[in-house]
Structure 1
Amino acid sequence: MIKKVTGLLKSKKSVIENFSYLSIFQIFNISFPLLTMPYLLSVLGKETYGLVVFTQTFVSYFLVLVNFGFNLSATKEVSINRDDKNKLSEIVSSILIIKGVFFLLSFVIMYVILFFLKESNDFVILSFLTMYLCLYEWMFPVWYFQGIEKMKYITFINLTSRLFFFVFVFIAIKDKNDYLMWPIINGIGCLIAGLISLYVVFYQHGISFRWQKKETLIHYINDSKFLFFGNIAGKAKLISNRMFIGIFIGMSSVAIYDIVDKLKDVSMVFLQLIVDVMFPKFAKHKDPKLVKKTIRLLVALSVFCYLFIGLSLYFIVPIYFKNYIEVVSIFWVLGLMIIFQPMNYLFGIGVLIVNGLIKQYSINLYLSASVYLLSILAVYLLASIDIYTLSFCLVFSAFIAVLNNIVVAKKHKLTNWIY
């Protein structure tokens, strides 16, 4: 038995190692915002805190453009060509060039939007400072480290950024007038992390940056365009609840929703982390048994996490917040995303994308987004729009996406990948 266990651990060494590194990172990644949240809420107040979160949501739409689906397509390409330095140089150079162009384009689009909206100077300044999110998306090649299955770089480099923010947030933010220091501190940390990561790629790993032909860049854009269009629907849906809450209800409610959303993310990021770690294996080996085992594990862990966190909140939340009943009640609705979202993510990239059904994957994301928007329209027309109904709309759309992924898999005779 000992020999069997030892042999199993050795055979899965890279998976266990990568999952361990990313788990350590996610512990800090989640802990820092939760530890700083009570302080920021008390110093900035709900309205200002909600405004900063609302602005982050606004900028997050541009993240979809800068990312362009390369987190999946580029990871797959790097995984397949990990032993070919010349090809890796082409991939890395092409993706960085394309992302750089989209990053600059995002600035132009944001300027035009803010000009026509005629928002206050405070919101305009805050929006441009919050573009550090897009800068980080451009500079930090997560897709490269995932593709070569060296997650330790993601862990150690990102910890540098998180520690920088954690330390300086207590030093630089003393009252609500210091709210601009939030994106400034985050931006400096992200810039440091991005520069370190590029140093590792180009100097330690020997990857060469080379300007690419237009045909090569177009090839990589075409390779990821369906993922991009799918991400417009998928990512935009996930972040839009904050926008709707800010527009229809108010910034204080954005602050409350953000608390619940972060609590939900505590376990959801770990569950999606399993998929991220396994994706290079799925892409390289195309083993339905491996995908099926991962699905069973993910479902069991999802249900356990949902129940465990929901019950734990009755004891944890009152320590930080007086209106804990509202926070816990919202979690029981929004927290269902812990079950549906990772499952949908695994079905999408582990079954559909691995089997070349990228178009179907994108269509499903649009279907889910359409269901979400129609649900929002329904509760708005019924004058029932609040945090609870908006949370339910998001959960319902995720549930429909899971069902449709199963239908697509059945249509293409891939049910042996799921059950």
Structure 2
Amino acid sequence: MIFLKEKLGRNKTVLANFSYLSILQVFTILFPLLTYPYLLRVIGLELYGVIVFAQTIVNYVSLVINFGFNMSGARNVAVYKDDKTRLSNIVSSTYLCKLILWVICLVVYLSVISIVPFFEDHYWVYALSFLLTFNELLLPIWFFQGIEKMKYITIVNLSARLLFVVAIFLFVHEREDYLIVPLLNGIGAMLAGCLSLYIVLKKERIKLTVIPIRELIFAYKESFPLFVSSLSTQIYVNVNKLVVGSFLGMSEVSIYDMADKVLNLMKLPISMMTQAVFPKISRERNIRFLNCVMFLVVGIVTLIYAVLFVCSDWIVCLFTGKYMMEASVIMRLLGISAIFVSFNGFLGGNRLVPFGYSAIYMRVMISNCLFFLVGMGLLWVIENINMYTLTMMAVVVEVFCFLSLIYRNWRLGLLV
């Protein structure tokens, strides 16, 4: 009992951040699940699929705006959190770098959706969906993660998302109201971003300062390997929705998105713990502690998968109002990938990066992306692109990633 109290005492901050992250992550995933059945019935599979397709594209735009700063920023803030001057420089640099990228992305994005005929039919869905990038531009999760005060970001984020859910039921009543959905999403992102920025400047007393060009260049260089790693990961994690929409149809996007939302629910323990322990690992570099957390998370995710496997048919009926065998099978298959993701999160971003091997982490992620693209290319050549083959590729690439990370960590002596 005394030993347990000592353990809890030493990791009090980690546990507090884990608690706030748990609340944030649970409701971040639950809120879309609450509106999913309603929107599916009101605006239909096809239009909902268009909205998901547009959001998936914008997620890639957000990756460019992020440029790895969410990880490098959190790491730098964690190291210099007691130095207010250095902290202000880090925050100013990160925000300015993101703003520059946001402006570039805005110009390119609007140009593309205005010129390419594919976007013509639902131009305003794609245009309004860009408002979601304010989430990436303004919301400083990296800052609160670094100073290990996730309380603020949890309250702000949940308030904005709760308003979105309520607004959906208040304003979306018929098929013609579909444009309100991306608009409300964007307004929520702007509100959350502005409120959290206010907390950073007033509550945490951070002063935005002018940053020399050479420091901005250094910041971009420092974050580049993390950006490439994130981009490579997101290509094989989220590109399936784009492929489904392009080759199979927007109704199929809605079905795949439902399975993906349940998968994200399974991944909750992974994202919560990786974010909660990242600052501690960055400072202490304790492999034994990291392994204990990793196996705990793997155990929890495996247990959740067992429940999902048994209840998948019931979950599909709950969200769609009818039994859909295809959706149930896809859900079970995607669930397998979550077990490997729970290993990969602690073998990659939470191990190689804090220990100073960002470049190696980048190479592993690039190789995973190339493996995925080659696999997708083969499916296209043999004309075998369907919901099942795309889902199996999502699982196989996580297995490949797991084996690659095990090998890299073994070579570096970071496994035990």
TM-score range, shorter chain: over 0.9
Deviation at 1:413, TM superposition (A): 2.4
Deviation at 1:298, TM superposition (A): 2.1
Determine if contact 1:302/1:339 at 8 Å carries over to the other structure.
yes
Tell me the amino acid that sits aligned with residue 402 of structure 1: F
2:397 is aligned to 397
2:282 is aligned to 283
Determine if contact 2:22/2:268 at 8 Å carries over to the other structure.
no
Relative to structure 2, which stretch is displaced further, 215-224 or 86-95? 215-224
Deviation at 1:310, TM superposition (A): 2.1
Provide the C-alpha distance between the structure 1 equivalents of 2:228 and 2:217, rounded to a whole number of angstroms: 16
Determine if contact 1:295/1:343 at 8 Å carries over to the other structure.
yes
2:330 is aligned to 330
Provide the C-alpha distance between the structure 2 equivalents of 1:109 and 1:336, rounded to a whole number of angstroms: 37
* Residues 207-264 of structure 1: per-residue CA shift (max 9 Å, x gap): 0001110011111111111111222211122110000000110001000000000011
Provide the C-alpha distance between the structure 1 equivalents of 2:119 and 2:223, rounded to a whole number of angstroms: 36
2:239 is aligned to 240
Provide the C-alpha distance between the structure 2 equivalents of 1:222 and 1:137, rounded to a whole number of angstroms: 19
Asked if residue 406 in structure 1 is aligned to residue 410 in structure 2, the reply is: no
Relative to structure 2, which stretch is displaced further, 74-83 or 100-109? 100-109
* Residues 167-223 of structure 1: per-residue CA shift (max 9 Å, x gap): 100111111211110111111111111111011100111100011100111111111
Determine if contact 1:161/1:186 at 8 Å carries over to the other structure.
no
2:346 is aligned to 346
Asked if residue 20 in structure 1 is aligned to residue 15 in structure 2, the reply is: no
Deviation at 1:121, TM superposition (A): 4.0
1:303 is aligned to 302
Equivalences for residues 315-394 of structure 1 within 5 A: 315-321=314-320, 322-394=322-394
1:65 is aligned to 64
Provide the C-alpha distance between the structure 1 equivalents of 2:410 and 2:301, rounded to a whole number of angstroms: 23
Relative to structure 2, which stretch is displaced further, 59-68 or 108-117? 108-117
Determine if contact 2:312/2:332 at 8 Å carries over to the other structure.
no
Equivalences for residues 202-217 of structure 1 within 5 A: 202-217=201-216
Instruction: State the identity %.
Output: 33
Tell me the amino acid that sits aligned with residue 286 of structure 2: D
Equivalences for residues 178-189 of structure 1 within 5 A: 178-189=177-188
Deviation at 1:109, TM superposition (A): 1.4
Provide the C-alpha distance between the structure 1 equivalents of 2:357 and 2:9, rounded to a whole number of angstroms: 33
Deviation at 1:116, TM superposition (A): 3.6
Provide the C-alpha distance between the structure 2 equivalents of 1:221 and 1:383, rounded to a whole number of angstroms: 40
Provide the C-alpha distance between the structure 1 equivalents of 2:324 and 2:8, rounded to a whole number of angstroms: 43
Determine if contact 1:271/1:301 at 8 Å carries over to the other structure.
no
2:218 is aligned to 219
Deviation at 1:122, TM superposition (A): 4.5
Deviation at 1:36, TM superposition (A): 0.8
* Residues 47-72 of structure 1: per-residue CA shift (max 9 Å, x gap): 00001001111111111100101111
Determine if contact 2:114/2:120 at 8 Å carries over to the other structure.
no
Tell me the amino acid that sits aligned with residue 269 of structure 1: L
Deviation at 1:160, TM superposition (A): 1.2
* Residues 384-412 of structure 1: per-residue CA shift (max 9 Å, x gap): 21111101111111111111111111222
Deviation at 1:5, TM superposition (A): 2.9
Structure 2: stretches of 5+ with no match in the other structure: none
* Residues 60-85 of structure 1: per-residue CA shift (max 9 Å, x gap): 11111001011111100000000000
Provide the C-alpha distance between the structure 1 equivalents of 2:383 and 2:240, rounded to a whole number of angstroms: 16
Structure 1: stretches of 5+ with no match in the other structure: none
Relative to structure 2, which stretch is displaced further, 309-318 or 407-416? 309-318
Deviation at 1:372, TM superposition (A): 0.9
Tell me the amino acid that sits aligned with residue 315 of structure 1: W
RMSD: 1.4
For normalisation by structure 2, the TM-score amounts to: 0.97
Q: Secondary structure at the match of 2:404?
A: helix
2:252 is aligned to 253
Provide the C-alpha distance between the structure 2 equivalents of 1:87 and 1:303, rounded to a whole number of angstroms: 42
Provide the C-alpha distance between the structure 2 equivalents of 1:67 and 1:200, rounded to a whole number of angstroms: 20
Determine if contact 2:164/2:188 at 8 Å carries over to the other structure.
yes
2:415 is aligned to 415
Provide the C-alpha distance between the structure 2 equivalents of 1:125 and 1:288, rounded to a whole number of angstroms: 49
Asked if residue 267 in structure 1 is aligned to residue 266 in structure 2, the reply is: yes
For normalisation by structure 1, the TM-score amounts to: 0.96
Q: Secondary structure at the match of 2:413?
A: coil
Determine if contact 1:36/1:166 at 8 Å carries over to the other structure.
yes
* Residues 77-116 of structure 1: per-residue CA shift (max 9 Å, x gap): 0000000000000000000001011111111111232244
* Residues 345-368 of structure 1: per-residue CA shift (max 9 Å, x gap): 211122211221111101111111
Relative to structure 2, which stretch is displaced further, 406-415 or 89-98? 406-415
Determine if contact 2:113/2:120 at 8 Å carries over to the other structure.
no
Q: Secondary structure at the match of 1:350?
A: coil
Deviation at 1:312, TM superposition (A): 2.3
Deviation at 1:313, TM superposition (A): 2.3
Provide the C-alpha distance between the structure 1 equivalents of 2:327 and 2:254, rounded to a whole number of angstroms: 11
1:48 is aligned to 47
Q: Secondary structure at the match of 1:351?
A: coil
Asked if residue 117 in structure 1 is aligned to residue 120 in structure 2, the reply is: no
Provide the C-alpha distance between the structure 1 equivalents of 2:287 and 2:135, rounded to a whole number of angstroms: 35
Deviation at 1:26, TM superposition (A): 1.9
Provide the C-alpha distance between the structure 2 equivalents of 1:320 and 1:188, rounded to a whole number of angstroms: 26
Relative to structure 2, which stretch is displaced further, 181-190 or 247-256? 181-190
Runs of 4+ in 1 over 4 A off after TM superposition: none
2:149 is aligned to 150
Asked if residue 160 in structure 1 is aligned to residue 163 in structure 2, the reply is: no
Provide the C-alpha distance between the structure 2 equivalents of 1:232 and 1:320, rounded to a whole number of angstroms: 31
Relative to structure 2, which stretch is displaced further, 42-51 or 18-27? 18-27
